Amino acid sequence: MVKTDELPAPKGEAAVFNLKTYLAEQKQLVEEALERSLPLAYPEKIYEAMRYSLLAGGKRLRPILCLSTCTLMGGTVAMAMPTACALEMIHTMSLIHDDLPAMDNDDYRRGKLTNHKVYGEDVAILAGDGLLAYAFEYVATETKNVPPQRIVQVVARLGRAVSAAGLVGGQVVDLECEGNSEVSLDTLNYIHTHKTGALLETCVVSGAILAGAESSDLEKLSRYAQNIGLAFQIVDDILDITATQEQLGKTAGKDLVAKKATYPSLWGLESSKVQAKQLIEAANAELADYGKKAEPLRAIANFIMNRDR
């Protein structure tokens, strides 16, 4: 049964009904697929730790973006679901590692104790590693009715997104900038286009590749994704200031305490909102050629702007 009340209520009247229903249905499909993707096995401890974080909820935006783009480009949900699950495994791995004491050191994530708080740092590191490796295995072994050359392209994209050219690179620069409130806009953009944007772009582009999209479509969709990726992070920085721990499911107000450079610290809250809105408009402009079919991607972009967690 779809529990729509578990989703954050988007603001804006027109968006409420359709978007909420769409996201709730897609989320439910993803939750069921994730539950099936990782059965408990021996050694139970590591599978439990992996499942603890993978099945802890979250908005499931990354898999939903992958599924929505695949269907927009003429593919099916079934073609994209293994990749959608893999993207969530990779995202979850990055959250587990990000929360470790050696990284961002957080006690709460998705409204629950972080993985290392429950299983210890050693098992949490391994749970992240296990999810990362399994993501690649899962795409390669579970993707059906898709030409192998498209699957290889998706695997390559996933690898790049998590590599030093993606998440890892963004995280390293973020760590280097710790305690430095003089970080330039270029550096801040580098951190977030890599830490947050690279995986979001891979979600969108992978869905399109699986459906056999033309390179002109891939280019438009990449630009859509880059714009929503940056907007997502700006909103994340705003919510760190304006939302509560209950809303976010993780510690709020951390950026201010750590004197971290953020978009609001560079631009102020109001200008940050304006910038995020402009990025969402630019993202939606990339979808102009697809008419009504692109409604889910437009709605997701608007949701990213208006989310409250």
Site residues, ligand GRG (CB under 6 A): 58-59, 61, 91, 94-95, 97-98, 103, 110, 132, 162, 167-168, 171, 195-196, 236
Instruction: Provide, rounded to whole angstroms, the least separation between the CB of residue 96 and ligand GRG.
Output: 8
Q: Residue 58 or residue 75: which is nearer to ligand GRG going by CB?
A: 58
Instruction: Provide, rounded to whole angstroms, the least separation between the CB of residue 40 and ligand GRG.
Output: 22
Nearest-angstrom CA–CA distance, 258 and 160: 30
Nearest-angstrom CA–CA distance, 158 and 24: 26
Instruction: Provide, rounded to whole angstroms, the least separation between the CB of residue 181 and ligand GRG.
Output: 20
Instruction: Provide, rounded to whole angstroms, the least separation between the CB of residue 99 and ligand GRG.
Output: 8
Cis peptide before 43 (omega within 30 of 0): yes
Q: Residue 115 or residue 196: which is nearer to ligand GRG going by CB?
A: 196
Q: Which residue is nearest to ligand GRG (CB)?
A: 58
Q: Residue 44 or residue 176: which is nearer to ligand GRG going by CB?
A: 176
Q: Convert 191-226 to b/e letters by CB count within 10 Å (16 or more is b).
A: bbbbbbbbbbbbbbbbbbbbbebeeebbebbbbbbb
Instruction: Provide, rounded to whole angstroms, the least separation between the CB of residue 67 and ligand GRG.
Output: 15
How many CB atoms within 10 Å of residue 175? 12
Q: Residue 109 or residue 220: which is nearer to ligand GRG going by CB?
A: 109
> What size, in residues, is the chain?
309
Q: Residue 200 or residue 211: which is nearer to ligand GRG going by CB?
A: 200
Largest separation between any pair of C-alpha atoms in the chain: 52
Tokens 């994340």 sit on residue: 236
Cβ pair 271, 210 in contact under 8 A: no
